[in-house]
A and B are shown apart, each in its own frame.
Chain A
Amino acid sequence: MNNTSYKDPAGFVFEFEGQIYRQINLCAAEDYDFLTESGLYKKLTQKGLLVEHQEVSLSKKTACEFYKIIKPAQIKYITYPYEWSFSALKDAALLTLKIQKTALKHKMSLKDASAYNIQFCKGKPVFIDTLSFEKYKPDTPWAAYGQFCRHFLTPLALMSYTDIDLNKLLITNIDGIALETAKKLLPFRAIFNFGILTHIIIHSMSQKAYENTEKPAFKTARMSLFEQQALIDSLINTVKSLKFPKIYTQWGDYYKNTNYSEESFQEKKDIILHFINKVEPKSLCDLGSNRGDFSRIASDRNIVTLAFDIDPVAVEDSYLYMKSNKETNILPLLQDLTNPSPAIGFMNEERKNFSSRFQCDMVMALALIHHLAISNNLPFDNIAKFFSSLGKYLVIEFVPKTDSKVQHLLSSREDIFDNYDKETFESIFDKYFEILETINIKNSKRILYLMRSR
């Protein structure tokens, strides 16, 4: 059983022989059937907004509430909202609202608006929770309004108005950032955004005002369909009004300040292509990808590529590039490799950690080793162990101490890294990897390695 499925009595997700399935329980049979009968399933799947599924029969039947089992289109890599760039989270929010708007037209409604119901597949967000749809009960409010605001609106508003890194609050708040928290963190100028003022600030005051009420508002509150549509339109306008903040980050101009001439930059690309052609991986994780220039060597060759970086500007740029070029094999993601996404939720089992989700054929770590070893004091041994846990092959660039970038890192601290040299690097990595090929980059002090996990 999937680790969060137990929360929904309508059914659950489970893995069987390496494939993901979803059981539909009898209590959800009517809603599930109506999804197809109403034409909503066809409409949403034709537009690529909802994950497609097939009804299947498995020899492995479970529980007496059993109604049907469906097999959804399989998604290789599951990612979480705190790993998405600003525009990715925005697109996920707009998809949720678009689906709710379409569902209302088919007399259905989303019973939840969790950001975890969205995954990115082939360069686009897609809704994955087939059991989130229920029959619309006339004149009732949208049950998922509060959750939508917590999962999408508050993180987007905080990223836009307060600090772009505040999406990380989603790691510690699994059910979204509370409106009250956002209200305290948003600057005064945010009140001039009508949507923020209403859907976050006054909404939060309303929650406070009614928090002690014993009246079950979800049973008594009334709202016409037209009013709900106006509410959804207002949320769409609010999400669209939020912009990526104008900020400068360390890596934003990285490629303008590299240690590579145009010629050696191209040579580095050629070497990486040579390594990729040699291994022919089906999947690749580029760690410290920046804007994804090197990741795209793989993704342009139909290799499923995840491009991780710590910098929100670089990841945002890469995501927008992916979108505008309609790329389908790459997904830029935010990740601090010195503190990767943890396992979170009840019993730490609801959302999986970084290492268990991102297993791939080839790991790429270009111009990264000095940041891990020198800026973060991580021993070569631990770094090698981490890389070997992610994939079979490794393409790694060694940046020697004499390199100006390393000198820059050392300029602000005491040099306690006597063992940071090529020989030690090779001997320690040799414990975990077999070095298949070593190439010196011309006009540069840097070295590229192709290694295979032992």
Chain B
Amino acid sequence: MKKFLNFVLIIFLLLVIVNNQEAHAYINPGSGSYIFQTIIGGLLAVVAVFKKLLGSITGLFKKHKDTDGEQDE
């Protein structure tokens, strides 16, 4: 599921990049790095928030399990 989501993000990313082409005189590969960075950064930030939320939810269960473990000892 996570991998599938990654690939959906990637297709989206490709469409954004390719549809933004402009034709001008001087080659400037640096611009592509800046623009791509802002797009991928945004997407990765969303994933990071999602992971954090997921982590805190599973963390609750883990803590619960750990406490169980301690009780067993």
Interface residues, chain A, CB within 8 Å of chain B? 141-142, 145-146, 149, 194, 197-199, 202-203, 205-218, 221-224, 226-231, 233-234
Contact A230 B26 (CB under 8 A): no
CA distance A234 to B36 in the complex (A): 14
Chain B, range 31-54, C-beta contacts under 8 Å to A: 31-42, 44-45, 47-48
What secondary structure prevails in chain B residues at the interface with A? helix
The residue in chain A whose Cβ has the minimal distance to the Cβ of B33 is: A146
B residues in contact with A222, CB < 8 Å:
38
Contact B18 A214 (CB under 8 A): no
B residues in contact with A208, CB < 8 Å:
32
The residue in chain B whose Cβ has the minimal distance to the Cβ of A180 is: B29
Chain B, range 1-55, C-beta contacts under 8 Å to A: 3, 6, 10, 13-14, 17-18, 20-42, 44-45, 47-48
A residues in contact with B41, CB < 8 Å:
141, 223-224, 227-228, 230-231
Closest 10 CB pairs of A and B: A207-B32, A146-B33, A206-B36, A227-B41, A217-B31, A210-B32, A230-B44, A217-B34, A206-B32, A221-B34
A residues in contact with B10, CB < 8 Å:
197-198, 202
A residues in contact with B17, CB < 8 Å:
202, 205-206, 209
**13 additional contacts (CB under 8 A) given A205-B14, A217-B28, A217-B35:** A145-B37, A202-B36, A203-B32, A203-B36, A209-B18, A209-B32, A210-B29, A212-B27, A217-B34, A222-B38, A227-B41, A227-B44, A227-B45
Pairs A–B under 8 Å by Cβ, sample size 19:
A146-B30, A146-B33, A194-B3, A198-B10, A198-B40, A205-B14, A206-B33, A207-B33, A209-B20, A209-B21, A210-B35, A213-B24, A213-B28, A218-B34, A221-B34, A227-B45, A229-B48, A233-B44, A234-B40
Q: What's the nearest-Cβ distance from chain A to residue B19, in Å?
A: 9
Contact A211 B25 (CB under 8 A): no
B residues in contact with A199, CB < 8 Å:
40
Q: What's the nearest-Cβ distance from chain B to residue A281, in Å?
A: 47
Q: What's the nearest-Cβ distance from chain B to residue A176, in Å?
A: 12
Contact A211 B44 (CB under 8 A): no
Interface residue total, chain B, C-beta cutoff 8 A? 34
The residue in chain A whose Cβ has the minimal distance to the Cβ of B14 is: A202
B residues in contact with A142, CB < 8 Å:
37
A residues in contact with B27, CB < 8 Å:
211-212
CA distance A277 to B58 in the complex (A): 61
Query: How many A-B pairs with Cβ below 8 Å?
Result: 123
CA distance A203 to B16 in the complex (A): 12
A residues in contact with B32, CB < 8 Å:
203, 206-211, 217
CA distance A198 to B33 in the complex (A): 12
Contact B36 A224 (CB under 8 A): no
CA distance A202 to B6 in the complex (A): 13
B13, B20, B25, B28, most chain A CB atoms within 10 A? B28
The one of A141, A197, A226, A229 that contacts B37, using a Cβ cutoff of 8 Å: A141
The residue in chain A whose Cβ has the minimal distance to the Cβ of B44 is: A230
The residue in chain B whose Cβ has the minimal distance to the Cβ of A237 is: B44
The residue in chain A whose Cβ has the minimal distance to the Cβ of B41 is: A227
The residue in chain B whose Cβ has the minimal distance to the Cβ of A222 is: B38
A residues in contact with B37, CB < 8 Å:
141-142, 145, 221, 223, 231
With contact pairs A213-B24, A226-B45 given, residues A231 and B40 touching in the complex (Cβ less than 8 Å): yes
CA distance A182 to B64 in the complex (A): 47
A residues in contact with B33, CB < 8 Å:
145-146, 149, 203, 206-207
CA distance A231 to B20 in the complex (A): 22
A218, A223, A230, most chain B CB atoms within 10 A? A230
A residues in contact with B23, CB < 8 Å:
212
CA distance A198 to B39 in the complex (A): 11
A residues in contact with B14, CB < 8 Å:
202, 205
Q: What's the nearest-Cβ distance from chain A to residue B30, in Å?
A: 6
The residue in chain A whose Cβ has the minimal distance to the Cβ of B36 is: A206
Contact B48 A223 (CB under 8 A): no
The residue in chain B whose Cβ has the minimal distance to the Cβ of A228 is: B41
B residues in contact with A207, CB < 8 Å:
29, 31-33, 36
The residue in chain B whose Cβ has the minimal distance to the Cβ of A204 is: B32
CA distance A206 to B30 in the complex (A): 10
Contact B22 A212 (CB under 8 A): yes
CA distance A207 to B23 in the complex (A): 13
The residue in chain B whose Cβ has the minimal distance to the Cβ of A231 is: B41
